[in-house]
Amino acid sequence: MALIGTGFIADYHARGLQTLAGVEMVAVVSKNIGNAKKFAAKYGIKKAYDTITEVAEDTTIDAVIISTPNKFHAPYALKFLEKGKDVFIEKPMAMNAAECREIREVANKEQQLVMVGHMWRFDRDAQYIRETVASGVLGKIFKTKGYGIHENWGPSGWFVNKELAGGGALADMGVHAIDTVRYLLGDPKPVQVYARISTQFGNYEVDDTGILIITWDNGSESIIESGWWHPHKEGPEASTGLYGTKGYANLFPTFLKTPKDEGFETIVPQLPERTEHCDQSIYTRQMEHFVNCIKRRETPVPGIEEGQVVLTIVDAAYQSAKTGESVTL
């Protein structure tokens, strides 16, 4: 394996890879060679570079983990795929859905694997809620409400640079909320998107406030909120509620409400304790899945399909916010 990028999220990937048998991290790349050398020393990685050229040409490297600003996701992925390497791309998969289609075309041509870092699919709480929804105990899910919001905080650096990030809080936080609810619902297809998106808090070109309404092909409607610097959030920085005709399910905090007698019964499942909201174990299971797919030559999930659906929704949301009209997909 080689790691491309040495930012905050790269540490989660490296710590996960360290635990896996038969996996060796052999190279790391950062545009700042000092950062690359520091990261390499931290994890016992032999080679540190400031360009991707050496990694791309190294035939002993099987796969790469791309954790760079969004602008570089597609061009780097295309280069590595063409050089016969499997690719893991941090979310969002690319800058837009058109770039996702390019990645799909090259991956299919080269018969290489692509995984996308929508890591909540590996969370035990999320898996429990998905299984509950699939069981039918909640009836038909007709509405969901979810969000990804930073309270009284927001990122800086490339995250607020439109050229590097493509978008703001929607591209950063909203994509998590979108993929999570889609996963919980059993991966329906979006058919319509309406959005109101704005910048309320910062002197930058990207958005820090968004409200989306997504209509799915299973008849469910999802309200998604994204934000940075908001004065309040209703729980942890990410949460989703699902409203069914026979009950309610909540992710973070995780519980169910089902009818009992003339009222409701609240069920709190016994799930593994979290050391932090974005627990390391999620990222470790994510890396384990990627490695297993490489060994077995199986299509990773979440992969190209899941990454492209999310960005199709994001593209439609920005279009809707610009025109004031809903977008039919």
pLDDT in tens, 253-308: 999 999 999 899 999 999 998 888 889 999 999 999 999 999 999 999 999 999 99
Phi then psi dihedrals of residue 58, to 5 deg:
-80, 105
Report angle CA 140, 142, 143 to the nearest 5 degrees.
Answer: 140
Domains and CATH numbers, the chain: 2-118+282-302 (3.40.50.720), 121-278+310-328 (3.30.360.10)
Spatial distance between the Cα atoms of 88 and 286, rounded to a whole number of angstroms? 10
Distances (CA, A) of 112 to 65, 83, 87, 312: 14, 10, 8, 23
pLDDT at 276: 86
The two structure tokens encoding residue 100:
């996702």
Q: What is the pLDDT of residue 103?
A: 98
Instruction: Answer yes or no: are the C-beta atoms of 49 and 31 closer than 8 Å.
Output: no
Task: Report pTM.
Answer: 0.97
Cα–Cα–Cα angle for 74, 77, 82, rounded to 5 degrees? 125
Give the three-state DSSP class for 197: strand
Cα-flanking dihedrals φ and ψ of residue 94, to 5°?
A: -160, -165
What is the model's pLDDT at position 274? 86
- Please report the pLDDT score of residue 124 as a whole number: 97
Q: What is the pLDDT of residues 125-139, one digit of tens each?
A: 999 999 999 999 999
